Structure 1
Amino acid sequence: MVDRLNDQSASATAKDEAAPQTATSAQTQVQTQAQAVESEEVRAQKALLGDTDPSLTSAEDVARALNVDPAQGLSEAEARRRLEQFGPNELASAPPVPKWKKFLAQFQDPLVYLLIAATIISVIAWFIEKANAHPGAEGGEALPFDAIVIILILIVNAVLGYMQEAKAEAAVEALAQMTAPQTSVLRDGKVQRINTADVVPGDIVVLAEGDSVSADGRLINAASLRIAEASLTGESVPVGKKPETLTEAKALGDRANMIFNGTSVTQGTGRAIVTGTGMNTQVGKIADMLSATEDEKTPLQKEMDYVSKILGIAVCIIAVVVLVALAVLEGFNDTQDVIDSLLLAVSLAVAAVPEGLAAILTVVLALGVQRMAAHNAIVKKLHSVETLGSASVICSDKTGTLTRNEMTVERVVTPSGEVQITGTGYAPEGKMVGIDGSGLDANPALRTEVIDTLAAGALANDGDLRQENGRWEIVGDPTEVSLIVAARKTDALRGYDRFNRVAEVPFTSERKRMSIIAADATEGGKLTVFAKGAPDVLLSYCKRIAVGGQVRPLTEGDRQTILATVERLSSEAYRTLGQAYRPLGTSNLSEVPGIQSNAAGQVTDIADQAEVIEHDLIWNGMVGIIDPPRTEVRDSVAEAHRAGIRTVMITGDHPLTAARIASDLGIIAKDGKALTGDQLDALADEAALDKATADVSVYARVAPEHKLKIVESLQRQGNIVAMTGDGVNDAPAVKSADIGVAMGITGTEVTKQSAKMILADDNFSTIVAAVREGRVIFDNIRKFLRYLLSSNVGEVFTVFLGVIFAGFLGIRQPETVGVTVPLLATQLLWINLLTDAAPALAMGVDPQTEDVMNRRPRKVTDRVIDASMWGDIIYIGVIMAVVTLIGMDMHLAGGLFTDRSVDALGHEAQMTEARTMGFTILVFAQLFNALASRSHLQSVFVGLFSNKWLWGAIGLSIALQLVVIYVPFLNSAFGTTPLGPLAWLECIGLAAFVLVASEIRKVVLRAMAARR
């Protein structure tokens, strides 16, 4: 939605300098349209605030008008009531298509039109036949059975297609629910995550970096809050937000105390009261300007359309050639000949095109997506499944993806020494001990320094630790929470609870540090800066060091010792964070030297004055945080390597930490090195970058823009790249990757919206499992395509060769004239209905083969139906046609292989029996083909019974074929007659030759492959 709004919304909300309170003409037009269709829910929302402009009203007055306590938020009961009153927080969409329209849509297909035309021709032929019958004589069929059967089969096909599409839609809808955007709100005094659709007017929205703004609202408070509003204003630079009440009405882009639906937080934190949801937002007002777009067809669907078109054209050409040949050689003697010829053309078309292909393809993809979702890989769009199986490089973050993301502070290093913090996980249970496990009673200075270091890290922190139902749960970044856990283990915050945060300079990936300013309640509100960040970065802002309770200048020797410790801890796989502080000596922030204030004496955005705050810091110490690798990841990396997929680690951690974890996981060798962001920047050009990324598999100390460079470089080398990300700044790289993967637990909403896949468990092994599933799905698609197309080509060749060689085979007797088709259109329709749906769907869920992860990734440019598969299709199609026609010939007089005399019932009865033979042979040949088509090279007897669904589909098809042959009224409808035991042996024996021929071809192909 955001992308679609860029151009149109920008013009609709541009500031009118001459009259700031006047909307642009585009806005006026849209608002007029919105009022014309304004819903009851929107009118109810507007009544809450009346004519009040929230931007010109204090946050307290807005809260009173909306009857909400900003400190507690709405209660759950009140939120539910408001949701019923005001409706879900969603833009109005087109009304759902009624079921009856969806059912009728199944008939909107050129092939169906062709069959309807065949029905009309069949009815006309029946009437002509009845009209030409002599009075008193029995004139042909009592009812136009051909027409009736075609109509019935069209209805059955429509029902199956409708049911399949309904299942696929249900799967996609369930997927949409799993990936539904969420919003943090304050309810009953607790911050909780809810579906964005459940946000109501009066909710207190909690904003953090990376969040998507889900509704319009009035800011209550903000800390260095910046929001990207390009979707509404066209302004590419994020807008700084402040809660102060405006003195005059301003255009949308200048309403600094308002937030708007469809925008995203790029920096800082804040809270806002929701003033409008759904269509009562600025986005809602311009929603009518958005033109609806149809869902784009997947590449597979496009290729299937292309294949069907090619088959259709080929059949039309064949039909024209046959009709012209018949007209020249035989001539059309009467109307019946013309009708029979047209029905022949229809028969060829029906035989060629697999009617249910599109629906089967959609259902197979939807089922695959559901299986992935059950294994924590949520694929947002069906067509992404096709790309997954082609992945050749997986670029993964380290923390939480390759590791468990259970960050634990294990080491604390201060100027007086080093201690160990016991306990693992997020439960605050542990204590500080010496490296050798001894107590610290003999070293009070070290103990004090450790307490001060942990306290600084816990104060300069946006995380939270809470206990819910006996379980400890974290809120925020796991690295930050690990500092809080360590502080609670050591009771480091005792005495520091007197500090209250008054301002914040937030962490960014560029700054690699964070600072807060806190007021000391016991010292008259005196201000102190507490900071944490990458030790090498934070150290550059320190000029002093705290040792044994005293502060002295930081010497060069101190710096070298600290940096050497960072190297040592990093080599031991610890992530290091430094802590520092600085008393500001005043209780008024505006009195700090260098701080800028406005005319009213208010300090301007502190985030823009980081250099003033973060200088002359006092070094406390550093912590070593461990995040052990996931035990299952090493096997997944090895599996990816066997599959020809390269694993690349990209992290902001220290190079030694990254290299250690990567070597433990098998991504690089033990002596492998990591490339840093600075080294990437030092590369001369794209050629040098491409050379580096072709060889290096670990990147450390990188910024988000480096991730994008790495992805683009790998893509230039012809790779299909999967890229993981969680932060807002990862979104460009995730979006540019062929397979963008967002973290479901730690990922921001912006990144989730940019991604094609979401990991519900943030686990690298899930990516590999998804790639494996993508390969299985693609393999299965090729299986049922091979099966469907070879079966349909077999039908085409049966009709075509049967007409051309009708005289040789005895299908047409010497004394007859006109066209005699080997199989009726109704029989061909029944074959397609019988063999297309159930067996093809069963093949779509075929179990994976042993070699699925032992072969190189396929290229996206590779055709789904390549030359080798076309060879299979034509070869099997010809065999199928030949055995069918041989079976018919064996039951006809004047045939090529046999010359059975015409019995007392005459040629028509014999033709009916021969057609029943051909009809049945073709059905069984296609069922044998279903078994053979499961692999291009592997013998059918390998894993013959592994797919129980396929055997069930085959059994169902056989049962239905028996019904058509042995139920009397269906004999008339389908032109069949009961077969004897010998005939059944002939049918099964001839049909089985398809399996024999397929096995012979596979033996030859395997021998040829072995010689290469």
Structure 2
Amino acid sequence: MTDKVGVTGTSQEQTATHSVSPSLNPFAGSDPSISEISTVERAMNTSIEHGLSTAEAQKRLEKFGPNALASKPKDPAWKRFLAQFQDPLVYLLLAATVISFIAWIIERSTNPAGAEPLPFDCIVIVLILIVNAVLGYIQENRAEAAVEALAQMATPQTTVLRDGRVSTIATADVVPGDVLILGEGDTVSADGRLFAAASLRIAEASLTGESLPVAKKIATLDSVKSLGDRTNMVFNGTSITQGTGRAIVTATGMDTQVGKIADMLSQADEEATPLEKEMDNVSRILGIAVVAIAVVVLAALWLLEGFTSIEDVIESLLLAVSLAVAAVPEGLATILTVVLALGVQRMAKHNAIVKKLSSVETLGSASVICSDKTGTLTRNEMTVETVITPSGEVKLTGTGYAPHGVLVNIDGSEVSAASSLRGEVVKALAAGSLANNAELRQSQSGDDKGQWEIVGDPTEASVLVAARKIHAMENYQGIERVAEIPFTSERKMQTVIARDTSDADAMTAFAKGAPDVLLSHCSYIEVNGQIRELTDEDRSNILSQVERLSSQAYRTLGQAYRPLNVIRLADIEGIEHDSQGQVHDISEQDDVIERQFIWLGMVGIIDPPRTEVRDSIAEAHRAGIRTIMITGDHPLTAARIASDLGIIDEELAQRTGRRALTGDQLDAMSDDEFNQAVTEVSVYARVAPEHKLRIVNALQSQGNIVAMTGDGVNDAPAVKSADIGVAMGITGTEVTKESAKMILADDNFSTIVAAVQEGRVIFDNIRKFLRYLLSSNVGEVFTVFFGVVLAGALGISDPSSTGVTVPLLATQLLWINLLTDAAPALAMGVDGQTDDVMGRAPRKMSDRVIDRAMWMDIAFIGIVMAAVTLIGIDLYLPGGLVTDDAIHGLTHAQALTEARTMGFTILVFAQLFNALASRSATQSAFKGLFSNMWLWGAIALSIVLQLAVIYIPVLNTAFGTTPLDPHQWLEAMGLAAAVLVLSEIYKLIVRVFTNREK
């Protein structure tokens, strides 16, 4: 269904073939606004009457390329795959692989009979690296696919003149020389020179920051003007709010003004996120620790025993490999990628598209959210809430563009259908609907089928919706438009002359506009159906009501009418016309028409806040996140909406005497005053792009992690400068989406808060698996380190032989990492919310992902893990601390295999118990013990695989293990469980001290 005011006509263009030779774009580097349209037409080899031919357009498309902003060339698949290896942890493992391979070659040359037929250690490590790289590559591709899916949600279309006919083509197929057909609601798809315009107004805020639509004319400019003053030009990415026009395309793609800004933005370097920095730091610490420990151990062996043969060197190098394998959590990079990618997918389901995986953690750390007002905090659906007529004031229920609502009195009671007040409201809304160029309709296709939508100016459309709610147009079905005196920023009013087809002898002029302006054209007022002269008292009362509504942040619009008792326009007294009765341009004769109007009333219009946003802002405040509104709207409107949503700290505003600041006020401040204002004021109105950027920079200098929303090109610098730039998926320009790290598919502030919560959960999960992985790997390092240093005391080394003997084999350590690092850590990475993540303050920029308390926790668990493992080994070795010189009559080599199997098994199960303990740094592992069934599944899988290594003969040979008896399992489980028991005691102590401090 469609509600449309005015007469629309379709002119049938004559089919013609216009062939022109391809040429380079003559206006690629100049300004066509100062050239006559005939000059532009010739230069572009086109025709304003017929446009380009299809064949010529295809040639130009091949020459100039698609009409789209250029994006960074996508790296080839092989390059993106190799990038997975660019990590310090990977470098360590590659170094260990090289050392192991050299040791294998040396051993093959000196002891061929005793050497392994293949370098199994090298092969296993390389396979693990390849598996990690494949997983990382797959997950990053999935994240990229989510962003690409958003871009392909809809293919933009453009109306052009081709072969003399009006055609609709893909926006990407528009070429220089095309003739654009422009109408209300269209988005301009390229830069062009206007040659026809009728009441054409274009919203260029996305490009220039100008809040009001710009009136366009076809006259040639006398000199080069700034972008906002090129009134005979249209620009890519802007939108038409009123009128119609035609333009010759002079620039497409990256040659447009939007493209030039996009090109400048592409030169800026992006800073690494806090998570990326922290992971680099962890990798660096691990690398230094591994090298330091290896050097210390090797130096100790050289000083205590000396290297007397090549075998000693080989054994020492293998020890270094073992330490490297034990220290490096090979799956860390992959697990981090998978956890972030899964988080990205969950966010995408809730309309938050994250472009870069590591940005998830930054979002979870946000301490300030700077948000635009329109469409993000509000519905971006102008709504008539109040109507004031000469007899009184009423309210209209319902928000948005769906025409559902009722007329109620101030006390909330419904207005009687027979009341004179209702009749006045009906007449006022009808006049406002007739003097209107907007369109209200229901979508006929897509996911939004059946949803109400508008075409044209939202303020005008709000009057159509209000009239539809109370059926105000039922008595005006026979009205047809005859002429129009359009709205301009100078006139601030619009008049439409219409004829009632049922009464051909009369015409009526309907007008709407700024109440104070419209009132100056009125001589009469209609009260209770009676028309009388408008008195000074009437004028004073109306203007005071306008002031009252404005103070309440309403946008006001007055309505009036004037009967014209004539059959033809030429019959109106004072109208200029020729001898045949042809009226001269009626829009130039407003002084004759727009007088002696009858005042009907006015409406109060507001863009209502989203109903869910207030709760989201309250939740953000509870999480210690400050919300700041930055808008180009009026300060009163901004403050009213901000107050309704709970953005303004009323106590602070009362103390400082400032509820909102404007761009002019910010300009008048010194740097110190500005920084102080940013800490106190949360609403900024009538601001320019440079103000937004300055606010973001000031907040960041104060130690905040800032999320900044934006939709227009002018928002792009601030969005890119913010720690987490957020672009609007519906209203956002392509340039802003390119600059942002996250895109809101629904343009809703509540989605940002939900994404922050998800980001915090993900960050908690990252800390969980980091605590688990690092404590487990530290346990392995301590096991190898102390196993070597105390080898003689523990009975690990054989007194009758020479050389170095390690407590666990390199392949066993690698198996432990593969077995316990991958599945359990990944399960913890997708853990649900175990704590009230929104009940704590955001993480500061100076806070580390792995802080001092976490390092202490890691070291404690690592020491316990190493202790129980070495105790288990010692129990089964002759010459140990608690054993005799002989055990079960086994040789030292057999006993060492059995002891290693015990230590191997204890370390595996100690890490599985550690997985349960690591879900929280303070909460007991038994709280919500079975809430994460993925973790239990991972533990079960690890147990099954460990049993296979112990009981399958082939794997016994590969990993140097031997089957265990039931009593050995009891001993192993008892020692391994000590990790969980001691962890619970440690957490209890932490909770007690934490509560005391509180």
C-alpha separation in 2, matches of 1:397 and 1:631: 16
Q: What is the CA distance between 1:348 and its match in structure 2?
A: 1.5
Residue range with higher mean Cα deviation, 167-176 or 339-348: 167-176
The match for 1:177 is 149
CA distance in 1, matches of 2:879, 2:358: 54
What amino acid maps onto 2:117 in structure 1? L
Q: What's the counterpart of residue 465 of structure 1?
A: 441
The alpha carbon displacement at 1:551 in A equals 9.6
Q: In 1, Cα distance between the equivalents of 2:541 and 2:975?
A: 85
CA contact 2:187–2:240 (8 Å) conserved in 1: no
Shift of the 57–228 alpha-carbon distance from structure 1 to 2, 3 Å rule, reads: farther
Moved more, 556-565 or 613-622: 613-622
Partner residue, 1:640: 620
2:894 is the alignment partner of 1:918: no
**Count of residue pairs brought into register by the alignment:** 922
- 2:776 counterpart letter in structure 1: S
Aligned to 1:327: 302
Residue-by-residue CA offset, 1:366-425 (whole Å, 9 max, x unaligned): 221221121122334334322322333445556655555665435321345445657776
**Contact 1:410 1:421 (8 Å CA) reproduced:** yes
Q: Which of 97, 105, 113 is matched with 1:139 structurally?
A: 113
TM-score under structure 1 length normalisation? 0.75
Among residues 472, 481, 486, which one is paired with 1:490 in the alignment?
A: 472
Aligned 1:255-274 pairs, distance under 5 A: none
Q: Counterparts in 2 of 1:469-618, with a 5 A limit? A: 470-475=450-455, 478-488=458-468, 489-491=471-473, 497-499=480-482, 505=488, 532=513, 542=520, 544=522, 546-548=524-526, 555=536, 558-564=539-545, 567=548, 576-578=556-558
Alignment of 1:279-298 (within 5 A): 297-298=272-273
Partner SS for 2:774: helix
Which consecutive unaligned segments of at least 5 residues does structure 1 have?
1-10, 22-50, 69-78, 232-237, 594-601
| Contact map agreement 1:423 1:430 (CA 8 A) in 2 | yes
1:290 & 1:632 partners in 2: Cα distance? 34
SS at match of 2:768: helix
Q: Offset at 1:623?
A: 0.9
**Is the contact between residue 567 and residue 656 of structure 1 (CA under 8 Å) also seen in structure 2?**
no
In structure 2, what is the equivalent of residue 57 of structure 1?
46
| Contact 1:728–1:748 (8 Å) recurs in 2 | yes
Task: State the SS of the aligned residue for 1:378.
Answer: strand
Question: Identity of aligned pairs, percent?
Answer: 58
Mapped pair 1:858 → 2:843: yes
Match of 1:623 among 603, 623, 632: 603
1:811 matched residue in structure 2:
796
Distance in 2, Cα, partners of 1:392 & 1:192? 50
Question: Residue 853 of structure 1: SS of its match in structure 2?
Answer: helix
Task: Kindly provide the CA deviation profile for residues 682-714 of structure 1, in whole angstroms up to 9, marking residues without a partner as x.
Answer: 687355666666555567788888767766665
Q: Distance in 2 between matches of 1:829 and 1:803?
A: 18
Distance 1:418 1:892 in 2: 95
Equivalent residues of 1:731, 1:751 under 8 A apart: yes
Farther-moved stretch of structure 1 (864-873 vs 895-904): 895-904
User: What TM-score, normalized to structure 2?
Assistant: 0.76
Partner secondary structure for residue 465 of structure 1: strand
Q: For residues 419 and 967 of structure 1, do their structure 2 counterparts lie closer, same or farther at Cα, with a shift above 3 Å needed?
A: same
* 1:176 Cα deviation after fit: 3.2
What is the deviation of 1:762?
A: 3.8
* Distance in 1, Cα, partners of 2:691 & 2:434: 30
Give, in whole Å, the separation in 2 of the partners of 1:950 and 1:130. Answer: 43
Give the 3 Å change call, closer, same or farther, for CA 719–192 of structure 1 in structure 2: farther
Distance in 2 separating the partners of 1:389 and 1:722: 10
Q: How does 1:372-771 map to 2 (within 5 A)?
A: 372-396=347-371, 401-402=376-377, 407-418=382-393, 426-428=401-403, 437=414, 443=420, 447=423, 451-452=427-428, 454-456=430-432, 459=435, 462=438, 464-466=440-442, 468=444, 470-475=450-455, 478-488=458-468, 489-491=471-473, 497-499=480-482, 505=488, 532=513, 542=520, 544=522, 546-548=524-526, 555=536, 558-564=539-545, 567=548, 576-578=556-558, 621-625=601-605, 630-648=610-628, 652=633, 655=636, 659=640, 662-663=643-644, 685=669, 694=679, 718-724=703-709, 737-745=722-730, 752=737, 755-771=740-756
- SS of equivalent to 2:603: strand
* 8 Å Cα contact 2:387/2:425 also seen in 1: no
Q: Does 1:967 align with 2:952?
A: yes
2:603 aligned partner, one-letter code: V
Corresponding residue of 1:159: 131
Deviation string, structure 1 residues 274-300 (Cα, Å, up to 9, x no partner):
788668989999999999999865331
| Structure 1 counterpart of 2:281 | 306
Change (3 A) 1:945 1:420: closer
| Alignment of 1:351 onto 2:335 | no
Q: Which shifted more, 397-406 or 558-567?
A: 397-406
Deviating more after overlay: 89-98 vs 326-335: 89-98
Query: What is the identity, as a one-letter code, of the residue corresponding to 1:861?
Result: S
Structure 1 residue 354: Cα displacement? 1.9
CA contact (8 A) 1:404 1:628 kept: yes
Instruction: Confirm or deny that 1:1002 pairs with 2:982.
Output: no
Q: 1:777 to 1:822 in 2, by over 3 A?
A: same
C-alpha change, 1:822 and 1:437, in structure 2 (3 Å) is closer
1:895-974 matches, within 5 Å, as: 895-899=880-884, 901-974=886-959
RMSD, aligned α-carbons: 5.6
Displacement after TM superposition at 1:312 (Å): 0.8
Find the counterpart in structure 2 of residue 773 from structure 1: 758
In structure 2, how many angstroms separate the alpha carbons of the residues matched to 1:247 and 1:342?
81
> Residue 939 of structure 1 aligns to which amino acid in structure 2?
S
The code of the aligned residue for 1:342 comes to: L
Letter in 2 for 1:143: P
Shift in alpha-carbon separation, 1:215–1:833, aligned structure 2, 3 A = farther
8 Å Cα contact 2:692-2:718 kept in structure 1: yes
Contact 1:655 1:699 in 2 (8 A): no
Residue 476 of structure 1, CA deviation: 5.4
Change (3 A) 1:119 1:755: closer
Q: Is the 8 A contact 2:429 2:463 kept in 1?
A: no
- Residues 793, 877 of structure 1: 8 Å contact kept: yes
Aligned pair partner of 1:318 in 255, 269, 293: 293
Q: 2:401, 2:452 within 8 Å by CA — same for their partners in 1?
A: yes
Cα drift, residue 987 of structure 1 = 2.0
- How much does 1:165 deviate? 2.4
Task: Note if 1:338 corresponds to 2:346.
Answer: no
Q: How does 1:108-123 map to 2 (within 5 A)?
A: 115=93, 118-119=96-97, 122=100
SS at match of 2:387: strand
**Match of residue 799, structure 1, among 768, 773, 784:** 784
Q: 2:345 aligns with which of 362, 367, 370?
A: 370
Q: Please tell me whether the aligned partners of residues 90 and 129 of structure 2 are also in contact (alpha carbons under 8 angstroms).
A: no
Displacement, 1:912? 1.5
Q: CA deviation at 1:324?
A: 1.7
What whole-Å deviation, never above 9, does each CA across 1:577-602 have from its counterpart, x for those lacking one?
445799999999xxx99xxxxxxxx9
Q: Separation in 2 of the partners of 1:657 and 1:288?
A: 33
Q: Is the 8 A contact 2:206 2:711 kept in 1?
A: no
* Matched residue, 1:598: none
**Pick from 740, 754, 772: which aligns with 1:787?**
772
Structure 1 residues 655 and 378: CA distance shift in structure 2, 3 A: same
Aligned letter for 2:431?
Answer: A
* Cα 1:529–1:682 shift into 2, 3 Å: farther
Please give the residue correspondences for 1:225-264 in structure 2 after superposition, counting only pairs within 5 Å.
225=202
